[in-house]
Structure 1
Amino acid sequence: MTDYDTDAPLKAIRRLLLESNGLITIAFRRTYIERAIGNHMTDLTDRSPYDITDQWLTSPWSHIEPAMAFQLGLPILILRERGVIADGILEKGVLGLYMPEFDADMPTSQYFQSPEWRDLIWKWEGQARQVVETKGNPPKLY
Structure 2
Amino acid sequence: MYIDIFVSRPNSVDENQDQTMQRIDELLNTRGLRARTIGKTDFPNVSPMKAVEQLMRQCSGAVILGFPQAVIHEGISKPGTSNEKILKNTLLPTPWNHIEASMAFMLNLPLLVIRDQGIEGGVFDVGTTGNFIHTFQLNTQEWLGKQSFIQPFNEWHREVVENSKVRR
- TM class by shorter chain equals 0.7 to 0.9
- d(CA) in 2 for partners of 1:128 and 1:31? 31
Aligned pair partner of 1:118 in 117, 128, 150: 150
Q: Deviations over 1:25-55 (max 9, x none)?
A: 111001110011211114xxxx421222111
TM-score by length of 1: 0.83
The amino acid that maps onto 1:59 is T
Among 19, 42, 65, the alignment partner of 2:58 is 19
The 8 Å contact of residues 113 and 131 in structure 2, kept in 1 or not, is answered as no
Equivalent in the alignment of 2:76: 37
User: Secondary structure at the residue paired with 1:78?
Assistant: strand
Runs of 4+ in 1 over 2 A off after TM superposition: 2-7
CA RMSD, 1 decimal = 1.5
User: Which residue identity lines up with residue 132 of structure 1 in the other structure?
Assistant: S
Gaps of 5+ in 2: 1-40
Residue number in structure 2 paired with 1:8: 47
Identity, in percent, stands at 24
Task: Map Cα deviations across residues 68-107 of structure 1 (whole Å, 9 max, x no partner).
Answer: 01100000111111122x11111111001111111135x3
**Could you tell me whether the CA contact under 8 Å between 2:64 and 2:113 is conserved in 1?**
yes
Match of 1:79 in 2: 114
Give TM-score, length-normalised by structure 2: 0.71
In the alignment, structure 1 segments of 5+ residues that lack a partner are: 137-142
Q: CA deviation at 1:6?
A: 5.2
Contact 1:4–1:13 (8 Å) recurs in 2: no
Deviation of 1:7 (Å): 4.1
| One-letter code aligned to 1:53 | K
Whether the 8 Å CA contact 2:66–2:115 is kept in 1: the answer is yes
> Residue 15 of structure 1 aligns to which amino acid in structure 2?
Q
